[in-house]
Structures are given as structure tokens and as C-alpha cells.
Structure 1
Amino acid sequence: MRVAVSAAGPGLDSPVDPRFGRCPYFIIVDTDTMEYEAVPNTSQYAASGAGIQAAQTIAGRGVKAVLTGNVGPNAFQALSSAGIQIITGVTGTVREAVTKYKEGNLGRAGGPTAPMRYGMGGFGMGMGRGGGQGMGRRMGRFGPPAYANVPSVAPFPQMTKEQEIQMLQNRMEMLQSQLDQIKKRLKELKAEEKSGEAETRDSNKGE
């Protein structure tokens, strides 16, 4: 079975990215062999319709399930229409997410978990000014384009406090996971650096 995981990097040990439509990569994993393919998300910087475009990319690769942090209403509708199972609230690394999925420890989403244009600003992960990771001016003023064969979706209503709490908790867990990965990598690099310095000293002594 093939599943797609929204990821911050191109490998199995990359952190899961909480943004389905605007993650940098989709890691397509065969759950039986753990062989994988890293697919760059070409809709990451789209002015609008990123979730739908990402869903179309995933659907064209024979994926049966998507593992991600949050998914907006348009992407949810597009994935559901394609018969793709949607798992949200996923944290940790891609490898950990797939393992949890195989063990049956991840629950299926009953509906969208993020408002429209989630990831384009507001929470600092988007394409606009004000703390985003983006490409300049805010681009969210354009409405989503019409796509053939994709059902129209009603605007996502304002989130309740419970929904916002859940989304923020997911976001916090994701950031903590990313921080842990950074700390782990820094520790590895420092250890390699010390090892290299020790080898250099030993080599100089022998000369």
C-alpha cells in the first residue's frame, strides 16, 4: 500500500510538515517495504488552490492514504472525492508516522482541520508578510481558480475554540518535533566535528 506524508524534507527521517497543501515535499512510502519516493510539492508557493493542486498530485500517484498535520476544506473534498483516506494530527518523522499508521495508531479525519488558505500567514508558516516563510507580498487576496471535475466547497466557517485549540496543539507538537530533530542533528554534527579534530591531532602527532 502506498501512502503520502507531508514532509519538511526529502527523507524518511524528515519531520512531518503540518501543512498539506504547502509542505515542501510529499514522501510516497510503500508500507510493506518502506521504500519511498520524495516528490517536491510544486503547489507550495501557489497564490491559491494549493490544497487542490497537491491533492491532484497525490491522486495521480496511486496513493491510498495521506498522513499530515492539518488539511483545509478544499483539499479534504478533493482527496475524499479521489477515494484517498485522510489522516490528520500526525507528528514526528515520516518514518514514525508510517509506523504508527501501520500499527493502527492514527485516526481518520472526519472533516477539514484547518481554515481555507491555512499556511499562507497568521501562524508564521505562509507566503505573506508578518513572520511567514514566503516569497514577498501577501498573495491570499486572490480567490481559488476553478478546477474541472472538482466539486465546489462551501467556505470554511470560523473555527470554534475547541477546533482552534486542537489545531494549535497539533502545531505545538509539530514544532517540538522539528526542534528535537534540529537538536539531534546538531549533536551529531558536533560529535563528527570533535571526532575529526581528534583524528587531525593524532595525525599531526605521528608526523
Structure 2
Amino acid sequence: MNWVEAIGYLGTALTISASAMSTMIPLRIIALLASCAVITYGFLIDSMPVVLTEMIQIPFNAFRLWQMLRLVRDVEKAADGDLSLDWLRPFGSERPFGVGEVLFRKGDPATEMYYVESGVFKIPEYGLEVRQGGIVGELGLLSPGNTRTASLVCVEAGRALCVSYSDVKQLYYQNPEFGFYFLKLTSERLFQSAQIDTAKKAAPAEGDVL
């Protein structure tokens, strides 16, 4: 076996390794390295179909790698304090909601979460309003049986970005780092809800003498 064949075998080994990986960032990196090795081999044996095939794949793998690295970075930023859902925008769909429309009721099966882009939504069980930039419904992913812990009603017409739990789970399984930061983010949400409950219980009822 000469050194040209060795490069070809290296490309083959890297391609097989990429196919066997379950996490996306290492998979994309190995796939890019495999393409570089195969392109080199293709030039050395003067096989333009081999070169062309790999050159077409490189931009796709590079874009997906960049997309996943950006996602991890943005989720890490969100977990450190910026609790925006903008980092999930590429994975959601925008939907309009009218006044009085019930997005979900307490006890309903939970399948998606929402990022409010406009309008006003209310959680009647807590008397809370969710306005532009607010996030609601993500805790259903972690609740027992994936059921809603409260209801959500539209009180002022608007739009919300809907992100399905299936997409979140797919990202979670494909990238453990994303999963870690998403759990950290949802834990922060849970603590915020607990603080609101505590504050409401501690506040004097209407008519109480201060």
C-alpha cells in the first residue's frame, strides 16, 4: 500500500466513523475531515467525480456545524442570565392567536412551548400576564406525564413562536451540551415560578389591615 492509497483509506475510515457517531458536533467535524481526505485522494488519482461529490458536501456539513455551535453558545448565554428564546427561532413556527383563544388548559397534554412575539397572554391560575419576550409552556416538557401545570389564554391578539417538544428532544439527544444548558435554563424558570408563588402567598390579601 502506497501513501496515496493510505489517504484514500483514511478518508474511508473517517467517513465510517462519522456515520457511527450519535452526537452532531463531533459527527460534523469528522465528516469535514473525511471530505478533505477524500478530496485529496480524488485529486491524486485524478477522479473529479470523487472530488466534486465531497466538495458539495463540505458546505452543508460546515453550515450545520456552525449552526449547532451557535446554538450551544446561545443556550449557554441564556442559561447564564439572558433567558430569551431567540436561539430556538430556527426550530419553531410562528402562529397568530385571537382574543379569548385558549392555547392550552391545565391538565392538557403538553407538546410545545411558546415565545410571545406580540400581544398579551394570561395564566389565569396565577393571575400572571405574559407579554412580548416572555416564554411559557416549557415546564410541561419536564412535568410528570408531560401535562400542563396551568392554562394559557390570549387576552390581546398577538403572535407566538411555537417550538415542539419533539424538536427540543431531538436537539437534546443530538448534543449533550445543548441538553445540559437547556436543563439549566428550565431550572431557572422553575425557580422563578417558585419565587412568584412564595411572593403571592406572603403578600397580604385585599382588605387585610397593614
Q: Which has the higher helix share?
A: 2
TM-score with structure 2 length normalisation? 0.27
| Bigger-Rg structure (1/2) | 2
Q: Which has the higher strand share?
A: 2
